[in-house]
Every structure is written in C-alpha cells, then in structure tokens.
Amino acid sequence: MFVRRKLKRTKPSMVPHFEFLKSVVKKGTPKFTMPSPALLHARGDRDSIRKTYPDRQEFWADLTRCYREEIADLYKAGCRYLQIDDTTIAMFGDPKVQETFRKLGDDPKRDVAVYAEAVNAAVRDVPDDMTVAIHTCRGNFRSTWLASGSYDYVAETAFSKLDVDGFFLEFDDDRSGSFEPLRYVPKGKRVVLGLVSSKVPELEKKNVLKRRIEQASKVVPLENLCLSPQCGFSSTHHGNNLSVEEERAKLKLCIDTAREVWGDK
C-alpha cells in the first residue's frame, strides 16, 4: 500500500457495512470488525510513507484520528461491539517476520509497542457502553497461515498495554505456543481462546477442548475465559477448506463446550 498524500477521512467507509450487518442480525448484538491501524504501516510502502510524512508521529496522528472519526460514526449507527483485527502483532513471534522488518530498518520490539499505541489511540474515545476487543492473527488464507511462533515475544509489550476489553487469541495448534504469555493480560480483561481451528474440517474433541480450557485457567481465571474458533472461516472471498456444514459443526461444538464449562450465561 502506498501513502501518496496526507491521510484524511472524507466520508464514512465502514458504516454502510455495519448497517447491512445490523439488518441481518435478528438476535443478539452484531459485532463489527475493522482492520488494525497497524496494517497501513506494516504492509505499507515505507518510502512513500517517509516522503509524505517525514515526521512519523504525524502519520500515526492522522491515521488514528481517521479511526476515531469512523468509530464515532459507527457508534452513532448503533455499533456497540467492535473488534479490531490485527494481522501484525502476533506475527512478530516468528523470527522470520522479525528479520523481514529488520531489513526494512525497523526494530521489531519497537514496532510491537508502536502498533499497540496506535490501537489505543484509535479507540481512546470509545464510549463506556461500547465493547472493544482485538483479534490477533498469523494469517488465514485458504486454510494456510503466514507466521508461526508463540506470544512470548509480544505479550509483555502488547497484552499489558492494549486498552481493550478482550483478546481473541489463536491457540489451535502448536505454532501458537503455550498459555504462559497470558500472565501479562491485566486482571479483569477477557481472553477468548481460539482453540477450534477454522482451517481444517476435522472436528476437535470436546474433552480435549475442556482440558485446554482448564490449563488456561491456571493463568487467567476461568470466569474471564471464553471459547471461539481460532480465526474466521472466510477471511477472503475464497474461503477456507471447509464446507458450510463443517463450519456449523465447529460453531455448535464451541457452544456446547462453553455451556458445559460455564453454563448458560
């Protein structure tokens, strides 16, 4: 992505999408997702950013202001549950990704902190009755992934500083690492364990899910834990290698397991 001129929001870009979502959700609270502000820097052309914004702080100030304006309009449209989809922070757990950013002249540790600060700046004016969560992802294209590595590299910097109500985290296979990094999540915040894979059709065993939830509860209190698929079933229009029936079975497994662990809350 190229940044050719100063960033400015001229009209709502996501409100129409939320309006559609709201029109088809007949029960419950519609959750709206939007990309993390980190995306424009992480996947942006660095030369164009430097040329347009010699002062990097001005870049982040303009970008996060656009986010605040968009989120304010989403709130006015009725959005009360917002998820920031971050496709960068968790990827820094992979040494190959770290090296890629070093070749761009970056300090990966510093990038993690800057990206967390950008998310905070984007959501800082959110009203008290709007829930904000963040989902971290290591890639989800046609049942493939882009990065592998635990949360150890990013947890202390990101988990402890992100000013969100909850974390949707991938824990569906060994490449996600252990639950130990969750010790950096501040008390009282929700952690949604992505234990059910959205990449493969094989259905997880309920007893295995319950055992892993029990393991996570040794780090985060059970009452602050939740269960979900590890990522979306279709992050792009191509979809993943699952049928609609297999996706429904995965969602039903999440619901049934959650009811057995936490009851009908």
The answer as to whether 8 is a domain residue is no
What is the DSSP secondary-structure string of 123-168?
HTT--TT-EEEEEE-S--BTTB-S----SHHHHHHHTTT---SEEE
Which pLDDT score, from 0 to 100, does residue 217 have?
98
Q: What is the pLDDT of residues 180-205, one digit of tens each?
A: 999 999 999 999 999 998 878 788 99
Q: What is the pLDDT of residues 111-121, one digit of tens each?
A: 999 999 999 99
Considering the chain, what percentage of its residues have pLDDT values greater than 90? 69
Extract the residue ranges of the chain whose pLDDT is less than 50.
141-145
The answer as to whether 7 is a domain residue is no
Q: Which CATH number do you get for residue 136?
A: 3.20.20.210
Domain, as residue range, for 214:
15-262
Q: Which of 122, 139, 143 is nearest to 71 (CA)?
A: 122
Considering the chain, what percentage of its residues have pLDDT values greater than 70? 91
The answer as to whether 28 is a domain residue is yes
Q: Is the pTM of the predicted complex or chain greater than 0.85?
A: yes
The answer as to whether 6 is a domain residue is no
Task: Write down the mean pLDDT value for the chain.
Answer: 90
The answer as to whether 165 is a domain residue is yes
The answer as to whether 5 is a domain residue is no
The answer as to whether 3 is a domain residue is no
Residue pointed to by tokens 């079975």:
249
What is the total count of domains within the chain?
1
Which pLDDT score, from 0 to 100, does residue 143 have?
43
The answer as to whether 164 is a domain residue is yes
Q: What is the pLDDT of residues 44-65, one digit of tens each?
A: 898 999 999 999 999 999 999 9
